[in-house]
Structure 1
Amino acid sequence: MESREEESLQAQSQTQSHFSVQSNVRTKTDIAWEHVTQVVDEKGKKAWICNFCQKVICGGGINRVKKHLAGVKGEVAACPKVSPEVRFTMQGKLKETAQKEKEKRTTSVTILDDDEEMEEVEISTVKKGKRKSTSNLHPFFTKGINDPSQSTIKSAMQSKAKIHDVDLAIAMWFYDAYKIASIGYGYKAPSYHALRVNLLTYAKKSVSLIIDSLRSQWVDTGCTIMSDGWRDVSQRHLINFLVYCPKGISFLKYVDASDIESNAINLCNLFAEIVEMVGEKNVVQMVTDNAVNYKLVGTKLCEIYPFITWSPCTTHCLNLVLKDLSELDNVKSLVNLASRVTIFVYNHKWPLNWLRKRPDWKEIIRPGATRFGTVFIALQSLYGHKEDLQAMVISNEFKKMLKVGNAVECKQIVLNEIFWNNCLITVKVMTPLLKLLRLCDSDEKPAIGYVDP
């Protein structure tokens, strides 16, 4: 280590031997001056020597030095020995400079437009022989501060899609409520007994009529029995049975299979009972999970009913694929590093408050316990916050957090470019599978017509 420092000092002394060093460089306020040494050659021209790689930068001023340290290609070669923290700081300074120039141009254009508008107003008032007062205030409160029609901050920040959905729900309620208005004055609402007995019976009959209309379709075109296994808050293994036909999907029944889920024979008898309930001549396909016991059930059902085919659930298969991929050593170590950063941010108030003040900030998605796809979605979400996290760990305020446990480790992970490159590669590789999972797991439309077999 000492030999390397001696070689660096020798290289710096040899480079500066051709120039005369100016002592007033350190008095400059720009942070980039701390990483270069300003010199003057024999002809009296200024130049700068990088303190990291000893490269001589001639001309261009401090902006060119920043591009050298930030690794911006084009005007000057990137510094190969600069630390990640300095590189990120210089990149942020260049972005701030570009943003200020953009705002300056926008402000100048706006002032020019306002001057032209004011000139037109003055000319028009002179022609009419009147003087009108002008105001630069935006007319947010056109009817005064007590105007109830003014929108609230919360409603103004809602997306157009959410507002449209709420408007549509209210409209549908009004369209249905016209029946109440059409009956006229003097109508009395139904009693408690009527709601829980008589009217409930009629509502059940109307639903039964809809199911009967679907049953007639089962006979004509055939149907598919779909089973959806899940666990409730009491960890009971419940199975929902649904019947699909081109006319629609109907819920058949649910069964508590906690005592038979591990027994393939009992499960097979349960599925056979469902087939008999729907009608064995009407069923053409059975769709279940891809677990071992369900595979055995599907094989036995095909033996009992040769005209019925068994198919595994595509969503469950994709979840199993994502589970296997998430258990790879490289992915597991990457997810472990990402979770350390996320846990540190959400376990401490200052980092979370600092990040939430960043423009266009969105919460970091954390992996769920039951959805293997969220592991890769969380990596994608964390990669989208790369710049915000790096800006946080190199800020002066973060130095106070270095005494807190895991703060140093979090800073090292965030400033590690290899970690971010691995995140990017993993996200790009897994994006097609995630899109397919999202398509197959959607309840909005059948996915078989959109998936290329």
Structure 2
Amino acid sequence: MGRGINRLKQHIAQIKGNVSSCPKATKIDQIKCRNSLLDNRNKKKGKVDENESLRAQVNIRSSENETITIDDDLMEDSFGSIKAKRSFGPMDRWAYECAIPFHAFEKDSFKIMLEAVGQFGRGAPPPSRYEMGETYLKKEVERTINLLTPYKDEWKSNGCSIMTDALSDRKRRSIMNLCVNSKMGTIFLSSKESSDEAHTREHIHEYVESCIKEVGPKNVVRIVTGNASNNMGAAKLLKEKRQTIFWTSCATHTLNLRHEGIGGLPRLRNTVKGKAAYDMVVKATFLTGVALCLMVFTPLVKVLRMVDADRKSSMGFVYSEIQNVKEEIIIALGNNKKAYEPIMDIISKKMKGRLDTPLHLMAYLLNPYYLFKNPEIQNDIDVTDAIVDFVDTIYPGDHSLQNHIVMVELPVYMGIQENFSREIAIKGCDVNYDKFDPCNIF
């Protein structure tokens, strides 16, 4: 736009060379435009002189004028061997003035930027505000979109999950986020400020529905939300419209609610204040209570850490691990039904309809780490019901394909036949290490 304005001013000022002269321009108009062009030229020259003056103040090889000397060992760890000590001059002052987070200097992109400046040499021109806000920003957006191509291909190949989240920022604005998770990882999709709108089930459903359309209904396997009543209502609306998409609660949120419920039991809850705290901790009963808490919460926290980690998907593990937690707690409490029954009731109540859905049970069955160790899990009535519900949801009305999966493909796997019976397959599923992924075994 700037060049167009300059050409227009040259046209009115009747400056020959780049444009034709305006025959209708008055003397006053010509003088105004000539003065404006002259002012712009002087401003540019002044800017160049100012930049040269600023550059003249920088001497990274000097230790004067408040420069910071960088330690050899620190620089060697970050950038390789350094022959002589150097100082970064006014770089620190720029960072402080612009409130640059200190961890930004540890980014690889910052190191690459320094290398680019160094390769350019003295007098490297900084980008303008326009370039940063328009030209380069558009290029970066385009680059980011291209980086997402493999993720979108994965969505089409193996499906994905849409995850919702709501939070309040420092200004108390209510913000809703949507992310997409797949085997390749989680990416941010969109964000929406909803401070002026009630987070009703209709509002949440409408937002999630827009995301489903953007990702592609055929690519979405499930929706993950919190456990609030409005999310539950949105899930009901989703099931009515999108019958081939599963809804599940956030595993981390569900487990936290479970811990909160168990922590509220009379035997585990004991709040003391002030001087009473000292009197309490020196009593043997307090130490007994601490031991009880450790016995109950240690296995519970292990599952929470598993689902809250980013190392791998927990979908195929969470159901079985919760069953293992129940057994560990029962044994830790000496098979005392009066002691463990309230805990079991809370675990079952919090799991119901959240972490024991057909999707969770099917993922549990299709995890060879569990099936190969205990083939009897295929005879569990909950698992067999989940198989039917799962194929009916994924392939509604396609009875031929449903029958083929249930009667032909699944029996080969559950009977550990063909490739599943090979020693390499069985040994590969023997240990549940951090990188173990049931989807990559066969």
Normalising TM by the smaller chain, what interval? 0.3 to 0.5
Tell me the TM-score normalized by structure 2: 0.44
